[in-house]
A = this chain, B = another copy of it.
Amino acid sequence: MTNQKALVLTSGGIDSTTCLAWAVRDLGAENVLALSMFYGQKHQRELQAAADVAKWYQVKHLQLDLSNIFQFSDNALLQGSAKAIPHTDYAEQLATGDGPVSTYVPFRNGVFISVAASVAIAHGCNRLYYGAHADDAAGFAYPDCSEAFNHAMAEAIKQGTGGQLKLIAPFVQDNKAGVIAHGLHFGVPYHLTWSCYEGGAEPCGECGTCRDRQEAFRINGVEDPLAYPQKPTNNGDETK
């Protein structure tokens, strides 16, 4: 097809799974690698989802353990932290005006992208995809998802690899509903994905990422294919 080869950062969630589908569409599964990170998160359900998605697309799946890097952070997502995962959506958390949300792991995306860049070059890739989108950056919830961050990081990778690798964030101007719109068009297997910050057998339906996910499906006029123990009621008028 081409002499392009890509590495895609995947987490098992909506955005990175859609990003993987995008890369496979562009280059073919044989020219795509997926890379997922364990960073000390409390549960590993999302890594299983990432593996399931890679298997679905028949792409090689690499995993790296970066938990030692984040051992110094006290963050609600991480093992060893006493902080509870907030059961409010990002807009409510940001209304406190305290800057990044409590689930912001310091410069996590910067670390993930830099590590992925090194791994990508070692595997002969010339493209690196990741699924950042505008919703995550809104109000500085996750500053390392912003378009400004992405632009600077793309330049750092271009300069720091001597032009060998290009960073691509296809959804950096989309919101989450827009990402899902792309994915529905591509037939993305969203039933295999996992977004919940809690580690139960089913998604909790209450944490910020569960709420945002369900809302983004609703905006597209479809139901989230995951089974939730209880449906949130804040948009009950659209529940089918």
| A109-128 interface with B by 8 A CB criterion | 109-111, 113-115, 117-119, 121-123
Residues of chain B within 8 A (CB-CB) of A122 are: 70, 72-74, 106
Given A64-B69, A111-B114, A157-B107, A140-B152 contact (CB < 8 Å): no
Instruction: Say if the beta carbon of A68 comes within 8 Å of chain B.
Output: yes
Copies in the complex: 2
Instruction: Say if the beta carbon of A100 comes within 8 Å of chain B.
Output: yes
Are A144 and B160 neighbours in the complex by a CB distance under 8 Å? yes
Residues of chain B within 8 A (CB-CB) of A229 are: none
Are B114 and A143 neighbours in the complex by a CB distance under 8 Å? no
Instruction: Say if the beta carbon of A85 comes within 8 Å of chain B.
Output: no
Residues of chain B within 8 A (CB-CB) of A148 are: 155, 159
Are B152 and A156 neighbours in the complex by a CB distance under 8 Å? yes
Q: How many residues of A contact B (CB 8 A)?
A: 45
Which residue of B69, B118, B164 is within 8 Å of A108 (Cβ)?
Answer: B118
Instruction: Say if the beta carbon of A161 comes within 8 Å of chain B.
Output: yes
Among A68, A100, A109, A156, which residue has the most Cβ atoms of chain B within 10 A?
Answer: A156
The CA of A114 and the CA of B105, in the complex, are separated in Å by: 12
- Cβ distance A165 to chain B, nearest Cβ, rounded Å: 8
Are B110 and A117 neighbours in the complex by a CB distance under 8 Å? yes
The CA of A153 and the CA of B151, in the complex, are separated in Å by: 10
Are B146 and A109 neighbours in the complex by a CB distance under 8 Å? no
| A87-140 interface with B by 8 A CB criterion | 99-100, 105-111, 113-115, 117-119, 121-123, 140
Instruction: Say if the beta carbon of A187 comes within 8 Å of chain B.
Output: no
Are A118 and B114 neighbours in the complex by a CB distance under 8 Å? no
Residues of chain B within 8 A (CB-CB) of A156 are: 110, 149, 152-153, 155-156
Instruction: Say if the beta carbon of A65 comes within 8 Å of chain B.
Output: yes
Residues of chain B within 8 A (CB-CB) of A119 are: 69, 72
Chain B residue nearest to A70 (CB atoms) is B118
- Cβ distance A114 to chain B, nearest Cβ, rounded Å: 4
Give 9 pairs: A residue, B residue, CB < 8 Å, sorted on A. Answer: A66-B69, A70-B118, A73-B121, A73-B122, A100-B162, A107-B117, A114-B114, A143-B159, A143-B162
Residues on A facing B (Cβ under 8 Å): 64-66, 68-70, 72-74, 99-100, 105-111, 113-115, 117-119, 121-123, 140, 143-144, 146, 148-149, 152-153, 155-162, 164-165
